[in-house]
A and B are shown apart, each in its own frame.
Chain A
Amino acid sequence: MIVIDKNKLTDLLDALNQSYQVIVPAKSADLTQFMPYDAVKEKNAEIILNENTVLSPKWLFLPQSEGMYAFWAKNKKLEIVDLPSDLEKMRIVFPVRHCDVQGIACLDKVFLDERHVDGQYLEKREKTVVMALMCNNPKDSCFCASMGVDRAHANNTVADVQVYDLGSEYAFEALSDKGQQAVEAIKALGSEKTVAVPEVKEQKIKVNIEGLPEKLSGMFYDSIWDSFMFKCIGCGTCAFICPTCYCFDINNKIRGEEGVKLRTWDSCMFDEYMLMAGGHNPRPGKKERVRNRFLHKLEYFYENYQMMLCTGCGRCLRKCPMNVDIVKFINQANAK
């Protein structure tokens, strides 16, 4: 492994920034999120390494609003054209915690499903080097270990480089070819050493998900939903900050005879999400919508892809204004 002193962080980012567009977690407008390193320098924003960001890095692969194609229409004529790629350089994102690496693995299942591979998503994935950071300072609301995330080794279908926090140093281990190239670019800043994988601090929250999808498959009509629904105000915060929520809407940006077709984040927590002709809504109330969100995360996705759609990042626990709590839900479901 290549071990680099944390004092050299700026040198490290500058070195990478020569051949990559570097993305880092930083604080901007009071919100911690992943930002281009160039923008961080420009705005004098603070790089945040000691806690997980409020916004997840999912926008790197599924932007909040993304053009899909452009069109031009006049009278009876129509033209549809591809948009040019918005990625000029390879990107590198450093550091991504294991819960968020797992979040990308979830998105991969959907957008790289071989029945319909999403070309735009694939391009972003292939042009991004993910540097995963083993984090040893979990928050009180983190429960990734319970959700099956390996805290010592990031999901290696996604992580290109594994980074270990050794206290005053970082250790870098390449897991893929593109990861190897990235490590080459910073090698000169440190030295080759063998290091032991550091100990991780236990997380406060522990939940048991063994057999949960099977159990939930029999609980669709259970009374448990009545106690969870009434608090939710359908604001959609939970979906927007979640690293795995991927629902999108399709809409237009039109100017004169031209337009761009966009896909934008959406949420099944919004009341008009499924509204149909004549006012019929298959999920008319909060109960149905909260139920769909939780069951999608903990049962439906598992049935389709053998993986939970919740990584235990704890963001929704921290940010839901009404304290709708997925951990509490799992515990109550288990107790049934």
Chain B
Amino acid sequence: MKVANTDEIKRSNDLEPMVGKIVEILEESTDVKTFRISTLDDKKPFSPLPGQLGMFSLPMVGEAMFSVTNQGENYIDMAIKKTGELTDALHDIEVGQEIGIRGPYGNGFPLDYLKGKDIVFIAGGIGLAPVRSLIMHCIKNRADYGKLTIIYGARSVDDLCFKDDLFNNWPKVENCQVYVTIDRPQEGWDGHVGFVPDYIKEIAPNPQIAIICGPPVMIKFSLPALSGLGFAGDDVITTLELRMKCGIGKCGRCNIGHKYVCLDGPVFTLTQLNEMPNEY
């Protein structure tokens, strides 16, 4: 890696966010909301690749990393689960709120590698947020990808995110199958009941690539299910989450061995993960 050589001295810092504003808020589930973010002059803050990240902040409270789950002409969307100080405060803000935003960060999904292939997307809970950015990309560029299979699970109906996509939009997409499951039976739910790893075995998808993201236990039991179906290490692609502060490989927070999740990740193949120390 080369060291920069520039005569122009800038005070500017990549850690300084730009000011954006919230133009829309969608309630996804009991504890997840999607925030639509534009710049103050109604432009897109930045154009991430599917799987890339953004640092979202209320400077008075804090700053945290989220996947950009979707994007449009003049906005990016982030789906945020309420888990602590900043995310609690975010759940209280209203449309029109000005916020800090910086990015895009991370590598994103390997689009060239995925082109032309059949893909199965497996997600649990808020894990659908990063996976969704790729699903949306595949749908927008439908001809570039093969069959799309989406397997998604959450604890209960109330915990399902992106219901409009799951039940209305995605099933209508050409050559796209959507499977949704909840952990326990619930009144009014006539869909599938059971955990994601078992559902994978039941569906026994046969495509070439699996994209998987969810809570650690779901990943832990889904990986054997996938290898049982014949998926190899390079066919399984996942995104990792570690504590992050800077997002640009400097603060030291998110290393696994010599790799930084914010810079070299968050997207890794199973083959890559197996070569890394198990510190995540």
Interface residues of chain A, those whose CB is within 8 Å of chain B, are 68-69, 71, 73, 76-80, 82-85, 108-120, 122-123, 126-127, 157, 220, 246-250, 252, 254, 259, 261, 263, 266, 268, 273-277, 280, 282-283, 288, 292, 295-296, 299-301, 303-305
Q: Are B19 and A80 in contact (CB under 8 A)?
A: yes
B28 near A: Cβ within 8 Å?
no
Chain A residues within an 8 Å CB radius of B280: 282
Report the Cα distance A116→B104, complex, angstroms: 12
Q: Could you give 18 example pairs across A and B, Cβ below 8 Å?
A: A68-B16, A73-B59, A78-B100, A80-B100, A110-B249, A111-B250, A113-B3, A116-B249, A116-B250, A119-B12, A122-B4, A122-B6, A127-B9, A246-B250, A252-B60, A254-B60, A266-B252, A276-B241
Count, chain B residues at interface, CB 8 A = 49
Chain B residues within an 8 Å CB radius of A268: 252
Q: Are A112 and B3 in contact (CB under 8 A)?
A: yes
B83 near A: Cβ within 8 Å?
yes
Q: Are B16 and A80 in contact (CB under 8 A)?
A: yes
Chain B residues within an 8 Å CB radius of A82: 11-12, 16
Chain A residues within an 8 Å CB radius of B277: 220
Q: Are A247 and B12 in contact (CB under 8 A)?
A: no
How near does chain A come to B140, taking the closest CB pair, in angstroms?
Answer: 28
Q: Which 9 A-B pairs have the closest CB atoms?
A: A247-B252, A300-B258, A78-B98, A119-B10, A116-B248, A71-B59, A303-B258, A117-B4, A114-B4
Interface residues of chain B, those whose CB is within 8 Å of chain A, are 1-4, 6, 9-19, 58-60, 62-63, 83-84, 94, 96-100, 216, 241-243, 245-246, 248-253, 255-258, 263, 277, 279-280
Chain A residues within an 8 Å CB radius of B62: 252
Contacts A76-B94, A116-B248, A123-B10 known; A68 to B15 CB distance under 8 Å? yes
Report the Cα distance A266→B252, complex, angstroms: 9
Report the Cα distance A274→B260, complex, angstroms: 13
Closest to A274 in B: B243
User: Binding site of A, secondary structure by majority: helix, strand, loop or mixed?
Assistant: mixed
Report the Cα distance A308→B180, complex, angstroms: 50
Report the Cα distance A112→B14, complex, angstroms: 12
Chain B residues within an 8 Å CB radius of A273: 243, 253
Chain B residues within an 8 Å CB radius of A117: 4, 6, 14
Given contacts A73-B98, A115-B263, A261-B59, 14 further A-B contacts (CB under 8 A): A68-B15, A80-B100, A110-B250, A112-B4, A113-B249, A116-B248, A248-B250, A248-B252, A250-B246, A252-B62, A261-B16, A266-B251, A274-B243, A276-B242
Q: Are B11 and A250 in contact (CB under 8 A)?
A: no
Chain B residues within an 8 Å CB radius of A110: 249-250
How near does chain A come to B100, taking the closest CB pair, in angstroms?
Answer: 6
Contacts A114-B1, A277-B83 known; A250 to B9 CB distance under 8 Å? no
Closest to B7 in A: A126
Contacts A71-B59, A110-B250, A296-B255 known; A76 to B1 CB distance under 8 Å? no
User: Binding site of B, secondary structure by majority: helix, strand, loop or mixed?
Assistant: loop
Chain B residues within an 8 Å CB radius of A120: 11, 13
How near does chain A come to B3, taking the closest CB pair, in angstroms?
Answer: 5
Report the Cα distance A69→B58, complex, angstroms: 14
Within the complex, which residue of A78, A277, A282, A295 is in contact with B99, where a contact is CB–CB below 8 Å? A78
Within the complex, which residue of A79, A84, A292, A305 is in contact with B1, where a contact is CB–CB below 8 Å? A305
Q: Are B98 and A76 in contact (CB under 8 A)?
A: yes
Within the complex, which residue of B10, B18, B241, B251 is in contact with A247, where a contact is CB–CB below 8 Å? B251
Q: Are B59 and A252 in contact (CB under 8 A)?
A: yes
How near does chain B come to A256, taking the closest CB pair, in angstroms?
Answer: 10
Q: Are A78 and B242 in contact (CB under 8 A)?
A: no
Contacts A78-B59, A283-B279 known; A304 to B12 CB distance under 8 Å? no
How near does chain A come to B131, taking the closest CB pair, in angstroms?
Answer: 19
Report the Cα distance A249→B252, complex, angstroms: 9
Chain B residues within an 8 Å CB radius of A246: 250, 252
Report the Cα distance A282→B241, complex, angstroms: 11
Report the Cα distance A231→B250, complex, angstroms: 28
Q: Are B59 and A114 in contact (CB under 8 A)?
A: no
How near does chain A come to B186, taking the closest CB pair, in angstroms?
Answer: 24
Contacts A250-B251, A304-B1 known; A282 to B6 CB distance under 8 Å? no
Report the Cα distance A150→B139, complex, angstroms: 58
Q: Are A113 and B243 in contact (CB under 8 A)?
A: no
Closest to A157 in B: B3
Chain B residues within an 8 Å CB radius of A116: 14, 248-250
Chain B residues within an 8 Å CB radius of A276: 241-243
Contacts A80-B17, A80-B100 known; A259 to B252 CB distance under 8 Å? no
How near does chain B come to A71, taking the closest CB pair, in angstroms?
Answer: 4
Q: Are B279 and A282 in contact (CB under 8 A)?
A: yes
Chain B residues within an 8 Å CB radius of A280: 216
Report the Cα distance A76→B96, complex, angstroms: 7
Chain B residues within an 8 Å CB radius of A76: 94, 96-98
How near does chain B come to A196, taking the closest CB pair, in angstroms?
Answer: 32
Chain A residues within an 8 Å CB radius of B96: 76
Among A78, A109, A259, which residue has the most Cβ atoms of chain B within 10 A?
Answer: A78
Chain A residues within an 8 Å CB radius of B263: 115
Closest to A251 in B: B62
